[in-house]
Amino acid sequence: MPLTYVYLLKCADQTYYTGITISLETRLRQHQIGTFRKCYTFKRRPIELVYCCVFTDPQKAVTRKDQIKKWSQAKKEALIAANYQMLPGFSKKRF
């Protein structure tokens, strides 16, 4: 069973793109050269890989990718910086 990678890219406009792939090197190259014109990163190049995690179960990888995609920019930055103790605080609503 191939490994599945969930990754975060930082785009030139300071936004983040969350993706999933079984070939990280190939996918990063595709993002960098703009292989897919309709991809979010196409007009936001250059991109930088800022986070990656590996899964042996593809379904768990999909679940994690979907979870991260819903996060705020601040929460993604805490993940990138490995400030794991900060992650729960970004989940709480402030009224």
pLDDT in tens, the chain (95 residues): 799 999 999 999 999 999 999 999 999 999 999 999 999 999 999 999 999 999 999 999 999 999 999 999 999 999 999 988 888 888 655 55
Report the pLDDT value the prediction gives residue 92, as an integer from 0 to 100.
58
Tell me how far the alpha carbon of residue 13 is from its chain's centroid: 15
- Please calculate the CA angle 80-86-87 and round it to the nearest 5 degrees: 70
Report the pLDDT value the prediction gives residue 93, as an integer from 0 to 100.
57
Q: Where are the alpha helices (DSSP H) in the chain?
A: 24-33, 58-69, 73-80
Domain containing 38 — which CATH number? 3.40.1440.10
Report the pLDDT value the prediction gives residue 87, as an integer from 0 to 100.
84
Q: Report how many domains make up the chain.
A: 1
Candidates 65, 67, 69, 38; CA nearest to 52 is: 65
Domain span at residue 23?
4-91
